[in-house]
Amino acid sequence: MANLDPVAVQPAATQATTQDRVAAIRRDFPILGRQVHDKPLVYLDNAATSQKPESVLAALDDYYRRYNANVHRGVHTLSEEATAAYERARLQVTRFIHAASEKEVIFTRGTTESINLVAQSWGRANLRPGDEVLITEMEHHSNIVPWQILAEQVGFTLRYIPLTAEGLLDLSHLDTLLTERTKLLSFVHASNVLGTINPVQRLVAAARAVGAKVLVDGAQSVPHMPVDVQALDVDFLAFSSHKMCGPTGIGVLYGKRALLEAMPPWMGGGDMIREVKLTGSKWNTLPYKFEAGTPSIAEAIGLGAAVEYLSGIGMEWVAAHERELVAYAYARLSQIEGVRILGPGPEARGGLVAFTAGDIHPHDLAAILDAEGVAVRAGHHCAQPIHDRLGIVASARASLYIYNTPDEIDRLAEALQKAADIFAL
């Protein structure tokens, strides 16, 4: 007899819709049709970089074929068209993160450059000996090293929020770490190793209580969930295009307008000035003050196409799809003898799973998976302090995106089981 229980019927119906949607999304990504070692590619290295849909490839191609020219410089038609497309991309990004103004959206080369910009401009202007910058033990190197470099130059103290055994931020002593001395709290929204999603609103409220500014590293969150800079009330947000269907070589620094207005330029050169005399120069208005030199024009246009593509899918759907997939991946990998998953349970994580398997070196593991057509990353993922904290040197990592399917998780689990069998775990 048919099961008429509405609770049981509902997920099956939703599943069918999800499957159709994912199948349609997959058709947008030509690379997903390729074979690796005579097997259909299973691409699970999305936290390193995502694949690109036809609309982004077409936007890049169209720019170079039809209106390649420099921006903000020429009065000829091609330059006007290129400038319009470049500035349209800025508006598209402004809408995507719900910034109050396009003047708050600065194009950089990516998350790394965005954080370095804040360190070298805001940091140099505002940090003094005796001040503190508070970051966390789960940061990517790009949110540790710029602060270490600046601390050496300026003489402030860099402090770290520790981790719990589970891989969450240990906020039990936050009031002793975050004090009147703290001028900046800078933390990763979603960890690229543990998968942990950090409580932005709680941390922002705590920072506001002591008058500290807040920088959020959104490299692994903006591509995967709705991020609204006004709702979160962050001062700065950094992210990269290439992890969210866009090209490499472009990313964003969002900053609150009043802060950006008060900050000195970081790099000097063309486009960032209003007037240059041999005796001194005057700076351009926002956002150009922070965009010295010819920008990555095609890449910005490609990023605009990427955020339009993601908006068309809907970021709520993206987050829900990844939540489902990561829960399945967590459950499947947990069943394999010798596999240790790093970080919290699926309810507290974004769409990635880093793991070790017995004492198999993660590079060997990734090579075995590659032979099965499954692409994962192996190494310390530019986050050595987390690995130190966990007492390991490296891990393997499967990271998910909009086009991944439960069948692909099965392929990963089967390949991993094969590796476990070879090494007799």
If binding is defined by CB under 6 A, does position 158 make contact with ligand C6P? Answer: no
If binding is defined by CB under 6 A, does position 259 make contact with ligand C6P? Answer: no
Among 111, 116, 121, 405, binds ligand C6P (CB under 6 A): 111
Among 103, 140, 224, 323, binds ligand C6P (CB under 6 A): 140
Of 375 and 420, CB closest to ligand C6P: 375
Kindly state the smallest distance separating residue 115's Cβ from ligand C6P, in Å.
7
| DSSP class per residue in 243-275 | GTTS-SS-EEEEE-HHHHHHSPPSS-STTSEEE
Kindly state the smallest distance separating residue 111's Cβ from ligand C6P, in Å.
4
Kindly state the smallest distance separating residue 107's Cβ from ligand C6P, in Å.
13
If binding is defined by CB under 6 A, does position 120 make contact with ligand C6P? Answer: no
Rounded CA gap, 16 and 51, in Å?
24
Kindly state the smallest distance separating residue 244's Cβ from ligand C6P, in Å.
10
What is the contact mask toward ligand C6P in residues 73 to 102, using x (rule: CB under 6 A)? ------------------------------
Dihedrals φ, ψ of 180, to 5°? -60, -25
Dihedrals φ, ψ of 371, to 5°? -60, -25
- DSSP assignment, residue 360? B
Q: Which helix (H) or strand (E) holds 236?
A: strand 236-240
Kindly state the smallest distance separating residue 248's Cβ from ligand C6P, in Å.
8
Of 67 and 290, CB closest to ligand C6P: 290
Among 145, 273, 382, 425, binds ligand C6P (CB under 6 A): 382
If binding is defined by CB under 6 A, does position 112 make contact with ligand C6P? Answer: yes
Q: Is 168 helix (H, G, I), strand (E, B) or coil?
A: coil
Q: Cβ neighbours of residue 112 under 8 Å, at least 6 residues apart?
A: 142, 240
Of 192 and 296, CB closest to ligand C6P: 192
If binding is defined by CB under 6 A, does position 387 make contact with ligand C6P? Answer: no
If binding is defined by CB under 6 A, does position 395 make contact with ligand C6P? Answer: no
- Under a CB-based contact definition with an 8 Å cutoff, are residues 161 and 134 in contact? yes
Alpha-carbon dihedral angle through residues 322, 326, 329, 334, given to the nearest 10 degrees: 180
Angle between helices 406-422 and 362-371 (to 10 degrees): 120
| Catalytic residue selected from 69, 149, 327, 382 | 382
**Which of 291, 251, 268 is closest to 73 using CA atoms?**
291
Among positions 350-379, residues that touch ligand C6P (CB under 6 A) are 377
**Which of 115, 173, 170, 174 is closest to 389 using CA atoms?**
170
Q: Which amino acid is at 154?
A: V
C-beta atoms surrounding 387 within 10 Å: 19
* Options 171-179, 217-225, 300-308, 336-344: segment touching ligand C6P (CB under 6 A): 217-225
* Options 121-129, 202-210, 216-224, 412-420: segment touching ligand C6P (CB under 6 A): 216-224
Among 142, 198, 284, 417, binds ligand C6P (CB under 6 A): 142
Rounded CA gap, 425 and 422, in Å?
8
* Residue 380 tokens, joined: 């310390």
**Which of 393, 111, 127, 420 is closest to 248 using CA atoms?**
111
If binding is defined by CB under 6 A, does position 381 make contact with ligand C6P? Answer: yes
If binding is defined by CB under 6 A, does position 110 make contact with ligand C6P? Answer: yes
382 catalytic, yes or no? yes
Of 82 and 252, CB closest to ligand C6P: 252
Kindly state the smallest distance separating residue 385's Cβ from ligand C6P, in Å.
13
Cis omega (within 30 of 0) for bond into 346: no
Dihedrals φ, ψ of 223, to 5°? -70, -15
The residue count for binding ligand C6P (CB under 6 A) is 16
Rounded CA gap, 397 and 414, in Å?
15
C-beta atoms surrounding 60 within 10 Å: 17
44, with CB counted inside 10 A (0-12, 13-18, 19+), is buried
If binding is defined by CB under 6 A, does position 217 make contact with ligand C6P? Answer: yes
Among positions 14-53, residues that touch ligand C6P (CB under 6 A) are 47-48
If binding is defined by CB under 6 A, does position 135 make contact with ligand C6P? Answer: no
Q: Is 286 helix (H, G, I), strand (E, B) or coil?
A: coil
Among 18, 120, 240, 296, binds ligand C6P (CB under 6 A): 240
If binding is defined by CB under 6 A, does position 198 make contact with ligand C6P? Answer: no
Among 56, 219, 326, 416, binds ligand C6P (CB under 6 A): 219
Give the interface with ligand C6P as residue ranges (CB under 6 A): 47-48, 110-112, 140, 142, 188, 192, 217, 219-220, 240, 377, 381-382
Positions annotated as catalytic residues are: 382
